[in-house]
Amino acid sequence: MKEILIAHKTLLGNKLLENIAILVEDGKIVDILDAFESEITHIPVRTFPENTILMPSFIDTHTHLSSYGISLSKPNLNKFTLKKDVIDFASEYIKENERDVYIFVGYDDSKWKDDSNITKEDLDKISNKKPIIFKRVCGHKAILNSKAIEIIGSIEGLDTNTGIALEKLPLNIYEIFKPSIDEIKEGILKAQEIALSFGIRSIVDITNVNSFRAYQELKREGKLKLRVGIVLYERFFEYVKNVGLEYNFGDDYLKFLGMKIFLDGSVGSGTHDVLLKTDEELAYILNMCQEYKVQLLAHAIGEKAINQFIRVFKLNVKENYLRHRIEHFEFPYYEDIELASKLNIYISCQPNFVKLWGGYDNMYAKKLSYETLKRCNLYKTMLDKNVKFSFGSDTMPLDPILGIQGAVEHFIETERISLEDALYLYSTAGAEFLFMEDKIGKIEKGYYADIIVLDENMKLLYTSYEDKTPYSFYNTNY
């Protein structure tokens, strides 16, 4: 069925323009019209109210959607602002629920107002007979009680005295305690509905092989509504090589992109300035990715890791046709921003981090030097230097509007960007990160009609791909 959509403003590129009408049919954009032209057609017109914005659906270029889906069935500690309340909640949950292992997710000690220090002893007071794991919101840190340590045993990054585990264990928690394929599928479906409810249609999911299999089953069953680019962790590189997977293999709903490595940790866990690989190790990985045609995503939050990737990249990659990427890029040196632009390195940024932890009295300010804080997520500078970058959420949380607020209301005034640029970076710019810039991310003839409309409060009013709009704005111009 043909339909014309008209909102107050339409995002074309990074400009919000008025008097634009969009003709869609069978999930594709058929034409772009002047709004006045639509009045003389015999095609149904859906007109939205004043101050609405019609734009391409959001593209989240850095998620852990399948892991997030699994976590939806886990007790979440993110809402608490007191350590005491966290402990009390966990104690009650364990009394009322029988589990083989208790994994609590999302705790954010930077928000606790009483005591931000939590150790094995705290969890042992809850129970020293049942295994308990608290996974921090950043994903790079976990706390284990004595029973959990006894079950897991020795593992890299785990201090058995304090129960603090950094990097390997928290990042691989669902490899150690593996859910079934059916549990993963159930989680993906729940997370998918949340993504769609935010106006997200396309994502990059950084995950493991079992989740990749779950996505394939959901696609065969006709249940996959998102467009998904799969990135696997470094430990699955042998699998990728043996199978022969190459970048951009798949279709418009599910494709393989590449592999992710970690060059540093996170600010919250205190590992953002710890290099996890040598230059030689990184060079080897880059060259292997070039040889096997696998895109590389390098997690680099701090200036040391960002600088390391750019230096090694410059020496080993002549042309970035695989669109190798830096993830996060939070505290770069200014000269590295210029180099990233010149070398055509792709960058996925998470502006929700600025909203959640930026500022001069928030978690970043408490953990970082003032000189580092002044280089926090330099979006305006990156735009001015023509860096190829887009926005994503890291699923912390999925909400794109939170990220847009972080970019538009940046605590460093000179790094604030316009609403138009923020919307562009969370939609159009992301299409290249899925190798789909000729199909999605634009209000343009021939593109998929992955379209959303936001109201004056930046709330989702309409999606063309899952029409649950509570309003009918039809005008039949007969």
Q: Given this model, what pLDDT does residue 476 score?
A: 33
Distance CA 345, CA 310 (A): 8
CB 259 within 8 A of CB 240: yes
On the question of a cis peptide bond just before residue 397, with omega within 30 degrees of 0, the verdict is yes
Q: Given this model, what pLDDT does residue 467 score?
A: 63
Q: Given this model, what pLDDT does residue 39 score?
A: 65
Task: List the one residue out of 404, 421, 425, 409 whose CA is nearest residue 358.
Answer: 409
2-55+444-475: CATH number:
2.30.40.10
Q: Given this model, what pLDDT does residue 305 score?
A: 98
Q: Given this model, what pLDDT does residue 251 score?
A: 98
> What's the alpha-carbon Rg for the chain, to the nearest Å?
23
The DSSP code sequence of 277-332 is S-HHHHHHHHHHHHHHT-EEEEEE-SHHHHHHHHHHHHHH-S--TT--EEEE--S-
Distance CA 257, CA 156 (A): 28
Q: Given this model, what pLDDT does residue 394 score?
A: 97
The CATH number corresponding to 74-176 among 3.10.310.70, 3.40.50.300, 3.30.420.40, 2.40.30.10 equals 3.10.310.70
Q: Identify the segments of the chain with pLDDT beneath 70.
A: 38-40, 467-478
Task: List the one residue out of 433, 422, 402 whose CA is nearest residue 55.
Answer: 422
Distance CA 316, CA 391 (A): 27
pTM over 0.75: yes
- Residue 202's DSSP bridge partners are 59, 227
* Residue pointed to by tokens 């999302």: 106
pLDDT in tens, 418-430: 999 999 999 999 9
- List the strands of the sheet with 2-6, edge to edge: 28-34, 20-25, 2-6, 45-47, 474-475
Q: Which one-letter amino acid corresponds to residue 24?
A: V
Q: Given this model, what pLDDT does residue 1 score?
A: 83
Q: Given this model, what pLDDT does residue 213 score?
A: 98
pLDDT in tens, 264-288: 999 998 999 999 999 999 999 999 9
Distance CA 410, CA 414 (A): 8
* Interacting residues of 33 by C-beta distance below 8 A, sequence separation 6+: 4, 20, 21, 22, 23
Domain segments of the chain as ranges? 2-55+444-475, 74-176, 181-434
User: Which of helix, strand or coil describes residue 449?
Assistant: coil
At the top level of CATH, which class does the domain 181-434 belong to? alpha beta
* Interacting residues of 462 by C-beta distance below 8 A, sequence separation 6+: 46, 48, 451, 452, 453, 469
